[in-house]
Homo-oligomer: A and B are copies of this chain.
Amino acid sequence: MGRRNEHTREEFRELVLQAAEQLVAAHGLTGLSTRKLATRIGYTVGSLYLIFRNLDDLIVQMNERTLDVLRERLRAAAAGQPPAAALQALARAYIAFALAETHRWLALYQHRLPDGQAVPDSFAAKVDQMFELVQQELALLGPQRPPADSALAARALWSGVHGICILGFDRKLEVVGGRSIHEVTDSLLDHYLAGFTQEIPAATPQVLHQADDP
């Protein structure tokens, strides 16, 4: 037949990614297939391979869009708040996103590229941008601290929040003995920040470092 030039390359890409987001939102990453995608947008499977290298490439591009949305939500939640409140707002916004956009959020972590392949730089950059939002607040909490310290702390703290979400997810909000994801997150933030702000930046105490460190 040939729907020649009915859409530009960019329009076609948009069409596909939107359809992919809808399929994932409705049925999870498992519900996504090139054939369903093609049917849904009124093309045949082959056409997808004119724009995307393969299904993995398509999913990575979809996930990058999810990261954009997530980052914007986080940015908005923290805006104009003092650092400690901003950190809690960031955590709560992250949890809210995971609960509201569950399947799209899960797709971010469920999808893994084949063994040798690394995630594209553009993807890694968007992840880094998310950590930077946290790092900014931590830097405000300890202005005299070197930026490398806040970078490390941001990584630790934010990975922690993510870990709580991922592990707490199967049991929905009930994580342990009636404690919610929010409570666990608050515990992490409270204790971590208490330790973080208490620490004397000049002489960093190494509570746990052992001599047999490799």
Which of B156, B170, B176, B209 makes the CB contact (< 8 A) with A188?
B156
Known: A110-B110, A156-B164. A196 touches B188 (CB 8 A): no
| A13: chain B residues within 8 A (beta carbon) | none
Copies in the complex: 2
A61–B85 alpha-carbon span in the complex (Å): 43
| A209: chain B residues within 8 A (beta carbon) | 186
| A187: chain B residues within 8 A (beta carbon) | 152-153, 155-156
Q: Does A14 contact B (CB under 8 A)?
A: no
Q: Does A160 contact B (CB under 8 A)?
A: yes
Q: List the one stretch of A39-47, A70-78, A177-185 in contact with chain B.
A: A177-185
Q: Is the CB of A156 within 8 A of B162?
A: no
| A118: chain B residues within 8 A (beta carbon) | 170
Q: Is the CB of A167 within 8 A of B162?
A: yes
List 26 interface pairs A-B (beta carbons < 8 Å), by A numbering: A28-B112, A28-B115, A85-B210, A88-B208, A88-B210, A124-B170, A124-B171, A127-B167, A148-B179, A155-B164, A155-B184, A155-B187, A156-B164, A159-B168, A159-B184, A159-B188, A160-B164, A163-B163, A189-B207, A189-B208, A190-B195, A190-B205, A190-B208, A194-B198, A195-B198, A198-B198
